[in-house]
């Protein structure tokens, strides 16, 4: 009788321990999904600003067709990337590069820079870019915590059994990691 109680007690403690690990993995995975959803929301908000920005620039700089087409193509790639972190990161980086080109073009048109609609769009876009940067940082933090838990004891024992795999960070492309050269 006492032996049975001890065995049941040990089984109960092990079950509680395993359930705790499972619940922690689920919680971390859901937090990571939530962080990804925040990036997605901010990227969609930026993508929604792009058509208005393109139309405004088009009115002043119609002959800058190639730059405008690159922005439109990059936006389409971003909206079509889905939930794939690598595809979304690549498309986001492509859009960022296209927007840099668009902003460079806008520097050549003083009337465009003075346009109230353009100025408001640029302000909105700047705010959205800040939110995207924060969302990326938060996402990468959740990925780090989730991956660390899977790699550390006791998560390393149970993560694979429960179907949890390492997540991928949202990383900047190699060209953005190179040092900037400033010449006067």
Would you give per-residue pLDDT tens digits along the chain (184 residues)?
899 999 999 999 999 999 999 999 999 999 999 999 999 999 999 999 988 888 888 887 766 778 888 888 888 888 888 878 888 888 888 888 888 888 887 888 888 777 888 888 888 998 999 999 999 999 999 999 999 999 999 999 999 999 999 999 988 666 555 554 434 3
Q: Are 97 and 74 in contact (CB under 8 A)?
A: yes
Q: Which residues contact 115 (CB under 8 A, 6 or more apart)?
A: 56, 60
**Full 3-state SS string of the chain:** CHHHHHHHHHHHHHHHHHHHHHHHHHHHHHHHHHHHHHHHHHHHHHHHHHHHHHHHHHHHCCCCHHHHHHHHHHHHHHHCCCCCHHHHHHHHHHHHHHHHHHHHHHCCCHHHHHCHHHHHHHHHHHHHHHHHHHHHHHHHHHHHHHHHHHHCCCHHHHCCCCCCCCCCCCCCCHHHHCCCCCCC
Domains and CATH numbers, the chain: 2-168 (1.20.1440.20)
Q: What is the pLDDT of residue 140?
A: 96
Token digits for 172?
């900047």
């Amino acid at each position: 009788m006492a032996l049975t109680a001890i065995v049941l007690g040990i089984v109960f403690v092990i079950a509680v321990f395993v359930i705790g690990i499972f619940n922690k993995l689920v919680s971390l995975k859901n937090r990571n999904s939530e962080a990804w959803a925040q990036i997605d929301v901010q990227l969609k908000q930026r993508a929604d600003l792009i058509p208005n920005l393109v139309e405004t620039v088009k009115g002043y700089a119609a002959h800058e067709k190639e730059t405008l087409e690159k922005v439109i193509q990059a936006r389409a790639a971003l909206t079509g990337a889905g939930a794939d972190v690598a595809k979304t990161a690549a498309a986001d980086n492509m859009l960022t590069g296209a927007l840099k080109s668009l902003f460079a073009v806008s520097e050549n048109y003083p009337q465009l820079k003075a346009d109230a609609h353009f100025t408001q769009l640029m302000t909105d876009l700047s705010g959205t870019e800040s939110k995207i940067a924060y969302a990326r940082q938060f996402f990468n933090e959740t990925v780090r915590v989730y991956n660390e838990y899977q790699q550390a004891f006791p998560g390393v024992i149970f993560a694979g059994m429960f179907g949890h795999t390492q997540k991928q960070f949202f990383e900047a492309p190699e060209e953005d990691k190179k040092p900037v050269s400033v010449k006067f």
